[in-house]
Chain A
Amino acid sequence: MSDLARPPAGSALHRFASPARFLRLAGSLQPWLAGGTLLCLGVGLYLALFGSPADYQQGETVRIMYVHVPAAWMALFVYLCIALASASLLVWRHPLAGLVAKASAPLGAAFTFLALATGSLWGKPMWGTWWEWDGRMTSVLILFFLYLGLIALTNAFESPERGQRASAVLALVGVVNLPIIKFSVDWWNTLHQPASVMRLDGPTIDPSMLWPLLIMAAGFTFYYLWVMLLRVRGELVEARLRALQRLETEGR
């Protein structure tokens, strides 16, 4: 356990391993991330609602895309971040990595929930159904339950380190779900259509709709980093609190 708190010597990550240094860095990044979020979401919302055309097939419902697709991308991206943090927690015992994973899991669950809910609101008028058990939807639902599992497992242990290590193992096991989600629409017949943006032969979205989508996605990414750092700071303060409280009871 003693090597947990010690930053790995000689590692490039060493510089950020100290919580004090991290807090300073997070503090100076925060206003930029908040500004980026508000700017991108402001411009993105304007373009999504006023500055973009209706679709030739789907009419005005295409505007649901501007929240549905960024939420779904973030659901995957946040999981990828958790998996990387989990690997560095298990292999290099990086002390902050566990906190990043812990702070990210509820955010990922929220994005996944948004992707599922807005997809349902889009599916009803266009496909004619709120929900179907096709490959894409089922695998995203599994992702949602994975996030809930990570949250539960992190808090299931008396010692925070053990909880973080256990959920790191689960996070790495769950990584197999990411390619399944991404390629489900290509591997199997699904109700969900294939990828429109992240495809080898270029996007199949008209630029007048692609730009609002990308700006919204940038806003969602800034939002994640902003709120995640906020939550990591909260976790660090909580760790200090626990240590002080322990000292007080011991000193009495």
Chain B
Amino acid sequence: MTRKRRRLTILLLALLSLGTATALVLSAFDDNLVFFYSPTKLKAAELPPERLVRVGGLVLPGSVEKGPGSRVAFAITDNAAEVAVVYEGILPDLFREGQGVVAQGRLEPGGRFRAVEVLAKHDENYMPPEVAEALKESGEWRPAEGSDPKAGYATQ
């Protein structure tokens, strides 16, 4: 019995120290694990203009201008700051005003973001269209869920 208990103690101690070490490493690399910057963070970060970065947030309603050709201009907002984006290429099917997007590209000296790739991000809500309609009509559409900023955009 004592041998078993000793093995169990060793195992638990090993797991505990492994967990602690991992937590320390992860918190040390926290900034590098971020997939995208929010507009607020991007402006604060003062990145060199040649650096390829991702900026994520919501497509500002009313900001989308299409053309000429496949050129699209829109603004990404985190409800605190916004970044003007220009992009030439194919947009994902989910791209629409008010929708979460992540754009990869470079910040030009004028403050405009030239994207080379635009990805759509969706939230964790799933429902049939009729339910979404009914929620909007009854005013039960809660901004905390819905297509409004979720933790990732607003706080980072």
Contacts and interface: CB of A to CB of B under 8 A. Distances in A.
Q: A and B: direct contact (Cβ < 8 Å)?
A: yes
Interface of A: 8, 53-58, 62, 65, 87, 90-92, 125-129, 132-135, 172-173, 175-176, 180, 186-191, 193-196, 199, 204-206, 208-209
B127 A172 contact: no
A94 B127 CA distance: 47
B33 to A, nearest CB: 5
Contacts of B36: 189, 191
Given A56-B132, A204-B145, A91 B4 contact: yes
Contact of B94 (A65, A127, A173, A206): A127
A127 B125 CA distance: 15
Contact of B15 (A53, A62, A175, A199): A175
A129 B123 CA distance: 16
A189 B156 contact: yes
B122 A54 contact: no
B39 to A, nearest CB: 12
B8 A127 contact: no
B111 interface: no
B80 interface: no
Contacts of A190: 35, 152
5 contacts: A128-B120, A135-B33, A191-B35, A194-B150, A199-B124
Contacts of A62: 126
Given A92-B4, A176-B22, A191-B119, A56 B102 contact: no
A187 B34 CA distance: 9
Contact of B35 (A87, A128, A135, A199): A135
Given A127-B122, A128-B92, A196-B126, 19 more contacts: A8-B4, A54-B128, A54-B129, A55-B129, A56-B131, A56-B132, A57-B122, A58-B126, A126-B92, A128-B117, A176-B19, A191-B121, A193-B121, A194-B123, A194-B151, A196-B124, A204-B145, A206-B126, A206-B131
Nearest to B99: A57
Contacts of A134: 35
B22 A126 contact: no
The interface centre, meaning the residue of B22, B38, B95 with most chain A CB atoms within 10 A of its CB, is B22
A208 B34 contact: no
